[in-house]
Amino acid sequence: MTEAKTAAPRSAVTDTTRSPFARLRPVPIGAVRLDGGFWAPRLELTRRVTLRQQYEQCEATGRIDNFRRAAGTRGGDFRGRYYNDSDVYKWLEGAAYALASGPDPELARTVDLVARAIAGAQDADGYLNSYFTFERAAERWTNLTQLHEMYCAGHLLQAAVAHQRATGEPGLRDVAVRLADHICATFGPGARRGTDGHEEIELALVELYRQTGDRRYLDEAGFLLDQRGQTPPLLSGTDYHQDHLPVRQQVEIAGHAVRATYLACGLTDVYAETGEAALRRASVALWESAYGRKAYVTGGLGAHWAGESFGADYELPNERAYAETCAAIGGLMWSWRLLTLEGEARYADWMETALYNGILSGISLDGESYFYQNPLADRGRHRRQPWFGTACCPPNIARLLLSLPGYLYSTSDDGVWVHHYAPGEVTVAVPGAAAPATLAVETDYPWEGSVHLRLRRLPAGAGRWTLRLRLPGWCEHPELRLNGRPAATAGDLRGGGYAALDREWAEGDEVTLELPLRVRRVVAHPHVLSNTGRSALARGPLVYCLEGVDLNGVDPRDVTLPAGVALRAERVPELLGGVVRLRGEGVLGPPAGRGGALYRPADGGEAPAGEAVALSAVPYYAWANRTPGPMEVWLRTAGGGG
């Protein structure tokens, strides 16, 4: 076993520091301090409330006791489902990210308790899965298609790497290494063929390779990717498991949405280390299939409840949308990996869309209940739950939110990249400087569009370097000033790219980015038949919706947006934890309410306009936190536009 030549950045989410085919390098979680604004309170709530609630659920449902049972320190039967170990691992990974942001002695003690329970359950040969202990030991590796053994192992590997990066302690990493060694000895060119029905192990093995420097783990990830789409098939041979074609031939995103995004993460990670162009081509083609033809306006992925899967191109039902929280998270992780390859803003744009909408909707404002599915229309029956029998989403959203500081910034050979905007400061390496520089950020994004950046500290020796600021694709006319004057940039100042400021920087330099926020009416591609004649409302990165609780009993389905209706943004600190809501006037009909005919003549002339109704639209992420009632994202538009 060989260690990497230099220490990995403390708490990087994905460590591309030495990845030869990645353009961007990580800025670790511990180098970013968030201060107020939109995200800092949410991350504090996740650390203080959500992690505690999820740990209590893991204890109450026997998930941690399953490890104690496997270690022989607790009796009884295995409790729950065969993939329950993975929920504990995801919780542990999220807790490690919380510790990377700052000390928390109580959380650290709980993490140590859980880590010791996991370590105690490991067999002498390195195998670790609490379901396949004692009475089920003979069943190990006998049903790779269905029983998630490598999936669970992958989540342990990720948790262990995050734990070592956050704490500096190798104990849990050593557990992961023994398990990875067992997998490499069991499956590979000189051993068994096979791979897991639920992807996850591939990207985890690459990250373990990055942490340890042991090439076997990278090679094993490539081997496992190559097992898909074989003849005869090693899994189901269907797109549900992404087993219908060899991975390099897959260009249309299909099958189980979470599995598909995790597969694509693995493809991208292996490319970043090996430079095999076919893997990158496949990942980009799949991404363009997903986000060009199959993604919801919220960044959600997965149209079908059956199979939790993608549908056909432009098949995006609203009320029956599956849009699993885990799929939106998988899409963000995938987009992040592609962003690190070349720095294309389109990947960061979709990350932002998913983060503020299709992911954040998955957790309640109090941090203690969750959505599994995230529909874009509801009749008032879909409500968040404190836990699930299949509880993949709760710890997944916790680990994503607590890792968020690691997604805000990157570095490259020529400078610093700012992908997402949040108040606070970042300590970051700049070319030529003997020590890191400190960049302070002031903003009330996403409620306001002004972003002020100040170079608070610049050590001696810094040469010429480039500061890049993402210009969100939703912003038509951004403005950029340097020390109070309009800034010359390397590119055209339009949304959908990065503004590049290349200069000899001085301590105290200030950059101001203005991202004008206006209320936008968004229409879907004409082939999205579920949205024909409808439009959605957005402001900045936020998608909005109408809830019945704001309409005095009116069903949002009966509301029509008149052409040219004026909508104003209004800050309401006491509403839903403090939001900007959109106000305006719509009309009921045509036809209005339950009295409308099921069918009417198309040539009967325009139906008369109904009575006016006051509109109050709220951010989609905050829906279903008040009195149950109907909700709509896509609203009927007068004149049938869209």
Identify the CATH number of the domain in which residue 35 sits.
1.50.10.10
Q: How much is the pLDDT for 564? A: 84
Question: If DSSP codes are grouped into helix, strand and coil, which group holds residue 147?
Answer: coil
β-strands 464-471, 415-418: how paired? parallel
Q: What type of residue sits at position 473?
A: G
Residue-range definition of the domain harbouring residue 159? 25-407
Q: Is residue 380 part of a domain?
A: yes
Q: pLDDT by residue (tens digit) across 284-337?
A: 999 999 999 999 999 999 999 999 999 999 999 999 999 999 999 999 999 999
Q: Is residue 8 part of a domain?
A: no
Question: If DSSP codes are grouped into helix, strand and coil, which group holds residue 5?
Answer: coil
The distance between the two most distant Cα atoms of the chain, rounded to a whole number of Å, is 79
Give yes or no: residues 293 and 258 share one domain.
yes
Q: Is residue 318 part of a domain?
A: yes
Q: Which residues of the chain have pLDDT under 70?
A: 1-10, 488-492, 590-596, 603-609, 639-642
Question: If DSSP codes are grouped into helix, strand and coil, which group holds residue 471?
Answer: strand
Place of tokens 């063929």: 193
Domain end residue (candidates: 514, 537, 568): 514
Domain end residue (candidates: 407, 438, 467): 407
Give yes or no: residues 452 and 531 share one domain.
no
How far apart CA 242 and CA 220 sit, in angstroms, is 18
Q: Is residue 163 part of a domain?
A: yes
Q: Which of 202, 308, 352, 547 is catalytic?
A: 308
Q: pLDDT by residue (tens digit) across 45-62?
A: 999 999 999 999 999 999
Instruction: Provide the terminal-to-terminal Cα distance of the chain, rounded to the nearest Å.
Output: 59
How far apart CA 639 and CA 133 sit, in angstroms, is 64
Q: Which of 152, 184, 392, 475 is catalytic?
A: 392
Would you say 480 and 486 are in contact if contact means Cβ atoms under 8 Å apart? yes
Give yes or no: residues 272 and 420 share one domain.
no
How far apart CA 31 and CA 13 sit, in angstroms, is 12
Structural domains of the chain, count: 3
Would you say 33 and 184 are in contact if contact means Cβ atoms under 8 Å apart? no
Give yes or no: residues 396 and 509 share one domain.
no
Q: How much is the pLDDT for 9? A: 54
Would you say 96 and 159 are in contact if contact means Cβ atoms under 8 Å apart? yes
Give yes or no: residues 217 and 291 share one domain.
yes
Give yes or no: residues 241 and 275 share one domain.
yes
Give yes or no: residues 392 and 430 share one domain.
no
Q: Is residue 18 part of a domain?
A: no
3-state helix, strand, coil in the chain (%, to 5): 40, 20, 45
Give yes or no: residues 272 and 401 share one domain.
yes
Token code pair at residue 587: 């009309």
Q: Is residue 510 part of a domain?
A: yes
Backbone angles phi, psi at 632, to 5 degrees: -140, 135
Domain end residue (candidates: 389, 407, 425): 407
**Which CATH number do you get for residue 475?**
2.60.420
Burial bucket for residue 565 (CB in 10 Å: 0-12, 13-18, 19+)? middle
Q: Is residue 238 part of a domain?
A: yes
Compute how many other C-beta atoms are within 10 angstroms of the C-beta atom of residue 513. Answer: 24
Give yes or no: residues 509 and 530 share one domain.
no
Give yes or no: residues 534 and 595 share one domain.
yes
Q: Is residue 541 part of a domain?
A: yes
How far apart CA 5 and CA 211 sit, in angstroms, is 10
Give yes or no: residues 384 and 432 share one domain.
no
Q: How much is the pLDDT for 595? A: 60
Residue 452's DSSP bridge partners are: 442, 512
Residue 392 annotated in active site: yes
Would you say 422 and 445 are in contact if contact means Cβ atoms under 8 Å apart? yes
Q: pTM higher than 0.85 for the full model?
A: yes
Give yes or no: residues 549 and 474 share one domain.
no
- Within 8 A by CB and 6+ apart from 355, the residues are 299, 332, 404, 420, 541
Token code pair at residue 443: 């903003």
Residue 475 annotated in active site: no
How far apart CA 296 and CA 262 sit, in angstroms, is 18
